[in-house]
Amino acid sequence: MSDLYTTKQVQELLQVDRTTIYRMLNDGRLTGVKVGSHWRFQKAEIDRLLSGDDQNEDPDLSSVRALPIHCIQSIQNVFGQIAEVGAVVTDLDGNPLTEMSHCSEFCALIQDSPSGYQACLDSWRELAEDPTSKPVFHQCHARLQYARGFIAVKNQPAAMIIAGQFYLDEPESEDREQFIRELAHKYEIDSAELLEAAAEIPVLDDRTEAKIGSWISEVARTFGDISTERAEMLERLRAISEMSSID
């Protein structure tokens, strides 16, 4: 077998989707080489991941590791469905920790493009850099609105819940069409397909606009409470394990 794997082969070996591969490339968990417009990955690098010997893991990420992602994903899915917004939990650098919930077709098309996905990461990172404690609306690279709430673990910000993929006001049709065609060209997406998906982007009504900030804050607080309780439980179990190992 070749010492280089394709993206599809890595997906099959790691049992993850292509978006996760791009995310791992961006956050340093995975390294690869670009051959033309395609990524290739060394066999030794994938073997390292499969063996669990992750030398790139940051030892200061204990707060993030305390997040029970499976539980958070389920709650996030319900929140996105009820609020009718796209939702994702990221670390403080804007790197997703969960899969996007209630993702619009428009955003799915953009995130399926490597350069489009990177633009989304950059927009989410800007949310983390905003010092405002309460959720406020931000416009992303695709001119959609997002807001975020910080998730605190043991009183320290550890992650964010981001909700968005909507307009606050209906954009001018001619201007929007031109802008979306430019996005499609930039991210190498079929323009007709992207325009059709853009027609389904919701405009937030006044009631939802007024409530969305408090909803995000409440979900963030809930995630923080769950994660803090889990972190404290893990610390107790670790202490018990260390005591039991003493001769």
User: Does the pLDDT of residue 192 top 50, yes or no?
Assistant: yes
Helix (H, G, I), strand (E, B) or coil at 204: coil
For residue range 47-91, list pLDDT tens digits in order. Answer: 777 765 544 444 334 677 778 888 899 999 999 999 999 999 998
Highest mean pLDDT among 180-194, 206-220, 224-238: 180-194
User: Does the pLDDT of residue 213 top 80, yes or no?
Assistant: yes
Q: Output the CA angle 104-176-102, nearest 5 degrees.
A: 10
In the block, residue with structure tokens 């070996």: 13
Q: What's the pLDDT score for residue 56?
A: 47
Domain assignments of the chain as residue spans, ordered by start: 4-51, 62-232
Which of 147, 184, 183, 148 minimizes the C-alpha distance to 166? 147
For residue range 76-130, list pLDDT tens digits in order. Answer: 999 999 999 999 999 888 888 898 999 999 999 999 999 999 999 999 999 888 8
